[in-house]
């Protein structure tokens, strides 16, 4: 599972047929028009025709199985199952310290343990986490570096991401500036070093395409100005910008997101209606971390419902922390999103597939089942997609396919 997928043979065709429901999740024509949660398109008795790594055709089984290309295709029977895009987790710490205890933001104080971790141990632990993600049907992640508390270890983490990319996860690396220190000084006091040295080095090495700025407290005007300056410099180098906060964003943070052209905000949702439209129009996705949002759902649900009604794109992320109550079983997050945040089953599926792909700017290759996209998909062993959020604690993933290759399949039950 940790090895790279082999190159497909020329004109290799695969036909997935007889799906009880095929969820294509046609994405909106553009999040920049504030189209919000998109469209959950359902094809009964559906089929997918895959050529090499890419989806060639989507439609009813009767039509696709009669196509000339389908005659000699390898067939996968999806009878009585739901076929849907693979999950996308926009906020996942692929590399964490072995001694991490994980209790809120304070858990990132374990950076010293990360510094003591050897390269082989770091790689093995990250590879094991990647395999677990794939087993639960998640094939694309936004992997941040927030556990690394100094710039040297951030580079080690980003290089680990590079080594594991497509084995089997598609990894979007995120350079997090949380708790950065240079020569013992906080990052805000060493802005020149960050802008002149490390951002260009990360970009030149193609180690990350996103820079994340964390706002943890009541930032002063001068601090916000420094963050805005750093975000402008990062955008000038070609980085996408995202913001993170453990608390609900205030108007100053949301204005920073607008001025910086942020692609995502990782934070509990706010009830500030005035910012929903501008952020949605510029394609900024609201990524709700399970580690914060489901702990105070009685306050969160009305804000989320308002945001969706105003056209916001909502994504649900595991923000997984080891040895904590968090989970990277995305089906369990579907359950929490429906029961605690008031999302419909269709909205919850969009929030764990297409919208997080948009938050990572990867919706052109994954997040929905459309011709021309990579064949990243899962077969769920349920007869109706609305059953998925009702099965709390279940693992209904029957088969996982990335880029047209099966990377995980559920074992048969042995009754002997």
Q: Return the CATH number of the domain spanning residue range 13-85+369-409.
A: 2.30.40.10
User: What is residue 180's predicted lDDT score, i.e. its pLDDT?
Assistant: 52
SS3 call for 113:
helix
The model's pTM is: 0.90
Residue 186's pLDDT band (cuts 50, 70, 90)? low
User: What is residue 193's predicted lDDT score, i.e. its pLDDT?
Assistant: 77
Percentage above 90 pLDDT, the chain: 55
Beta strands in 146-253 (DSSP E): 170-176, 181-182, 185-186, 210-214, 240-244
Gap between the Cα atoms of 297 and 141, Å rounded = 24
> At 18, phi and psi to the nearest 5?
65, 25
User: What is residue 29's predicted lDDT score, i.e. its pLDDT?
Assistant: 40
Gap between the Cα atoms of 19 and 39, Å rounded = 19
Half-sphere exposure in the Cβ direction for 181 (13 Å, CA)? 12
**Dihedral (C-alpha) 143, 146, 147, 150: value to the nearest 10 degrees?**
120
* Domain range list for the chain: 13-85+369-409, 87-359
Class of domain 87-359 as given by CATH? alpha beta
Is the omega angle on the peptide bond into residue 168 within 30 degrees of 0, that is, cis? yes
User: What is residue 416's predicted lDDT score, i.e. its pLDDT?
Assistant: 54
User: What is residue 298's predicted lDDT score, i.e. its pLDDT?
Assistant: 65
Gap between the Cα atoms of 194 and 187, Å rounded = 7
User: What is residue 172's predicted lDDT score, i.e. its pLDDT?
Assistant: 97
Q: 123-132, 161-170, 186-195: which has the minimum mean pLDDT?
A: 186-195
User: What is residue 293's predicted lDDT score, i.e. its pLDDT?
Assistant: 78
User: What is residue 376's predicted lDDT score, i.e. its pLDDT?
Assistant: 97
Gap between the Cα atoms of 50 and 375, Å rounded = 7
User: What is residue 190's predicted lDDT score, i.e. its pLDDT?
Assistant: 64
Residues 6+ apart with CB under 8 A from 47: 15, 16, 17, 18, 19, 22, 58, 59, 60, 61, 63, 64, 65
Q: Looking at the DSSP assignment, which residues form a beta bridge with residue 77? A: 17
How do residues 112-152 score in pLDDT, each as one tens digit?
677 778 889 999 999 999 999 999 999 999 999 988 877 78
Is pLDDT of 189 > 90? no
User: Which position has the higher pLDDT, 185 or 399?
Assistant: 399
User: Rounded mean pLDDT of 195-224?
Assistant: 82
Residue 104's pLDDT band (cuts 50, 70, 90)? very low
Q: Which residue has the tokens 């770091």?
A: 122
Gap between the Cα atoms of 42 and 103, Å rounded = 40
Residue 35 CA, distance from chain mean position = 19
Is pLDDT of 383 > 80? yes
Is pLDDT of 36 > 60? no
Is pLDDT of 27 > 80? no
Percentage above 70 pLDDT, the chain: 82
How do residues 293-331 score in pLDDT, each as one tens digit?
776 656 778 888 888 888 899 999 998 876 665 678 899
Q: 28-32, 49-53, 169-173, 210-214: which has the minimum mean pLDDT?
A: 28-32
User: What is residue 101's predicted lDDT score, i.e. its pLDDT?
Assistant: 44
> At 408, phi and psi to the nearest 5?
-155, 140
Residue 254's pLDDT band (cuts 50, 70, 90)? very high
């Amino acid at each position: 599972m940790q090895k790279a997928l082999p190159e497909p043979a020329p004109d290799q065709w695969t036909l997935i047929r007889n799906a009880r429901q095929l969820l294509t999740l046609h994405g909106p024509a553009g999040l920049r028009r504030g189209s919000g949660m998109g469209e959950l398109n359902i094809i009964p008795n559906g089929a997918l025709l895959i050529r090499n790594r890419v989806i060639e055709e989507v439609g009813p089984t009767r039509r696709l199985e009669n196509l000339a290309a389908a005659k000699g295709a390898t067939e996968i029977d999806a009878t009585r199952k739901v076929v849907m895009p693979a999950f996308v987790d926009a906020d996942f710490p692929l590399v964490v310290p072995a001694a991490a205890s994980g209790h809120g933001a304070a858990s990132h104080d374990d950076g010293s343990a990360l510094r003591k971790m050897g390269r082989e141990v770091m790689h093995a632990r990250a590879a094991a986490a990647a395999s677990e993600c794939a087993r639960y049907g998640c094939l694309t992640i936004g992997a941040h570096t927030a556990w690394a508390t100094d710039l040297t270890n951030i580079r080690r983490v980003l290089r680990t991401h590079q080594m594991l990319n497509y084995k089997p996860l598609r990894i979007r690396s995120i350079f997090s500036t949380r708790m950065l220190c240079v020569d013992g000084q906080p990052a805000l006091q060493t802005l020149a070093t960050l802008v002149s040295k490390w951002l260009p080095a990360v970009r030149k090495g193609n180690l990350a395409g996103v820079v994340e700025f964390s706002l943890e407290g009541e930032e002063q005007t001068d601090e916000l100005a420094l963050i805005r300056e750093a975000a402008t410099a990062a955008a000038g180098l070609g980085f996408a910008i995202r913001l993170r906060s453990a608390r609900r964003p205030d108007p100053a943070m949301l204005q920073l997101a607008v001025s910086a052209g942020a692609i995502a905000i990782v934070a509990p949702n706010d009830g500030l209606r005035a910012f929903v439209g501008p952020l949605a129009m510029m394609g900024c996705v609201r990524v709700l971390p399970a580690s914060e949002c489901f702990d105070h759902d009685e306050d969160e649900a009305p804000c989320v419902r308002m945001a969706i009604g105003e056209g916001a794109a909502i994504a649900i992320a595991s923000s997984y922390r080891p040895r904590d109550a968090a989970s990277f079983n995305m089906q369990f997050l579907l359950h929490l999103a429906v029961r605690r945040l008031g999302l419909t089953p269709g909205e919850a599926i969009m929030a764990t597939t297409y919208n997080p792909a948009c938050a990572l700017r990867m919706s052109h290759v994954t997040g929905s089942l459309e011709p021309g996209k990579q064949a990243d998909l899962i077969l769920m062993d349920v007869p109706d997609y609305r059953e998925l959020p009702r099965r709390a604690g279940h693992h209904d993933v029957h088969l996982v396919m990335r880029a047209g290759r099966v990377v995980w399949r559920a074992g048969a039950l042995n009754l002997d």
